[in-house]
Amino acid sequence: MINAVGRDIPDYLLVDGKEVYQGRFAKDGQVLKRDAPTTVMHEKPVPDKLCATIREACEKCGAHDGMTISFHHAFRNGDYTASMVCKVLVEEMGIKDLRVAATSLGDAHNLLADYIEQGIIVQVQASGVRGRIGDVISAGKLKEPAIIRSHGGRPRALMSGELHVDIAFLAAASCDKVGNASGNGGKNNCGSMGYAIPDSKYADRVVVLTDTLAPFPNVPASIKCEDVDCVVVVDEIGDPKRIGTKEARVTQDPRDLMMAERAADIIAATPWFVDGFSYQTGAGGPSLAVTRFLEERMDAKEIKMGVAFGGITGNMCDLQDRGYVRKIVDTQDFDTKAIAHLHDRPDHVEMTVSDYANPANKGAYVNYLDYMILAALEVDTKFNVNVITGSDGVVRGAPGGHPDTAAGSKCCIIVTPLVRGRMPTICKDVTTVTTPGECVDVVVTDYGTAVNPARQDIIDCMDAAGIPHVTIEELQEKAYSIVGEPDPLQWEDKVVAIVEARDGTILDVIRQIKPYTFE
């Protein structure tokens, strides 16, 4: 069946109430009963919840074949724990048919790629898949298609019961003997635990892994003892050098700066640029640079940013320290500076990914977002965005909060070069739709800016401010004139991953890629 973004979704996937994507607000007002985890009565006091080994915790929590386990990705490429736990489950306990529902997976999890190839991990659900896991998924090694969900789509799926986690294994920088866990106060800190908190609330069993056992009670705690079954102290939860990167430098690339300045001009020309405006950027070079150009425009108008949210970098913290930002509400920290800042500053606070982006709650933060600055791998002439599949059709990206913030924000601006090497960013049809074009308002490139024709209000603002713009088709033609028109990718029939829209309908599917031949 063809869905609202023109993608043909195979009928065999449309079972058990699964529907195709019908538009960005199609499910608004739908009533949902929250799924509930099981709990276990603990009337009789015990000294602590400590387990000597991961295996002991897994046994206590009833690890079994076919179960769904979850991990969070605040420790990103430095995470040791997901691989550590899977190794125990597979190699010590012989558990089979594992389903891994991580908030994201990447280069730190190559061991899981081996287990997928061996048929031990049969399904993956994640907001992003990078590294070798993406290669094996695209090669069709999973028994069931992977499910790719946005940051808001994942807590929605937990809430609706479509994703039910048997055991959540949650790494924490510090934890006490009964499970009060935090992203700070340890030897390897990640800052915000925004991704992990919904799992602690919705999983049947919760195991906290830490390398820093803190005195009881370890408060303020992100994960509460009432939700935690077991605590395991391991040597290292991660490689600190790869957990928090050094502070992201603002780009010096003149092309990026030119695009960033244009995006800042557009923001300053629109009616939501008033005192107290809300703002988020992605962590990419040009996106981050937009913030730098906003500063002088805030000065000129004598206004301040009310709130910055989402994934936070050190340069947003700097901006707050210099008085430009009233509150930072933080789902994830991208660098060591932001991690420390969350701990030290009372007006920089943690938020859960459900509070941030979940479309199935009573109004997530993204619904109150004025400006969202994003990057893209591809944008097509319908303004659809792809951030999941590379030019070779292989899964190697993450929708993350892209679809959520684009749908919620009043003005969603994509900042991206027209071409990257030989790859046209602006194309006729994106390889995979991760964000529907109806949510995307403005595309700024180094060869011109295009505005979604649905946003005549923004076009009028830009015209009034004298900011030039072209059509998206002109940008696409310019791109193809430089790099040539790309040949269509060659796919097998087999669906290897399902891309869910944030409301749980099917936005697109990713098929197995055929090995390239010249014939």
Partner 1 sequence: MVIEKTAMAGTLESSDAQVTVSPADTLEIVIESSVINQYGRQIKATVEETLERLGVKNGLISVVDKGALDCTLKARVECAVFRSCDASMVNIPWGGVIQ
Binding site for partner 1 (CB under 8 A): 391-393, 420-423, 482-484, 486-490, 513, 516, 518
Q: Supply the minimum distance, in Å, between the C-beta of residue 447 and partner 1.
A: 15
Q: Supply the minimum distance, in Å, between the C-beta of residue 338 and partner 1.
A: 30
Closer by beta carbon to partner 1, 379 or else 411: 379
Q: Supply the minimum distance, in Å, between the C-beta of residue 197 and partner 1.
A: 39
End-to-end CA distance of the chain: 31
Closer by beta carbon to partner 1, 187 or else 422: 422
Q: Supply the minimum distance, in Å, between the C-beta of residue 486 and partner 1.
A: 4
CA gap 449, 469 in Å, rounded: 5
CA gap 275, 303 in Å, rounded: 5
In this structure, the chain runs to a length of 519
Closer by beta carbon to partner 1, 12 or else 518: 518
Other residues' Cβ atoms within 10 Å of the Cβ of residue 422: 10
Q: Supply the minimum distance, in Å, between the C-beta of residue 516 and partner 1.
A: 5
Q: Supply the minimum distance, in Å, between the C-beta of residue 390 and partner 1.
A: 9
Closer by beta carbon to partner 1, 323 or else 421: 421
Closer by beta carbon to partner 1, 16 or else 519: 519
Residues 293 and 264 sit within 8 Å (Cβ to Cβ): yes
Residues 281 and 290 sit within 8 Å (Cβ to Cβ): yes
What phi, psi does 250 have (nearest 5°)?
A: -70, 135
Q: Supply the minimum distance, in Å, between the C-beta of residue 513 and partner 1.
A: 7
Helix 314-321 vs helix 285-301: crossing angle, to nearest 10: 10
Closer by beta carbon to partner 1, 118 or else 481: 481
CA gap 108, 90 in Å, rounded: 17
**319 contacts: CB under 8 Å, gap ≥ 6:** 291, 295, 305, 308, 325
Closer by beta carbon to partner 1, 284 or else 306: 284
Q: Supply the minimum distance, in Å, between the C-beta of residue 135 and partner 1.
A: 14
Closer by beta carbon to partner 1, 216 or else 516: 516
Q: Supply the minimum distance, in Å, between the C-beta of residue 517 and partner 1.
A: 9
Task: Indicate if the alpha-carbon torsion angle 46, 51, 55, 61 is positive or negative.
Answer: positive
Q: Supply the minimum distance, in Å, between the C-beta of residue 510 and partner 1.
A: 14
Q: Which helix (H) or strand (E) holds 208?
A: strand 205-210
What phi, psi does 100 have (nearest 5°)?
A: -110, 115
Residues 434 and 507 sit within 8 Å (Cβ to Cβ): yes
Burial tier of 194 (Cβ tally within 10 Å: 0-12, 13-18, 19+): buried
Residues 155 and 358 sit within 8 Å (Cβ to Cβ): yes
Would you call the peptide bond into 346 cis, given omega within 30 degrees of 0 as the criterion? Answer: no
The residue among 110, 89, 81, 100 whose CA lies nearest residue 190 is 81
Q: Which helix (H) or strand (E) holds 69?
A: strand 68-71
Helical H runs in 66-130? 81-87, 110-117
Residues 61 and 229 sit within 8 Å (Cβ to Cβ): yes
Closer by beta carbon to partner 1, 121 or else 479: 479
CA gap 132, 146 in Å, rounded: 14
Closer by beta carbon to partner 1, 23 or else 486: 486
Closer by beta carbon to partner 1, 119 or else 484: 484
Q: Supply the minimum distance, in Å, between the C-beta of residue 424 and partner 1.
A: 9
Q: Supply the minimum distance, in Å, between the C-beta of residue 488 and partner 1.
A: 8
Closer by beta carbon to partner 1, 68 or else 389: 389
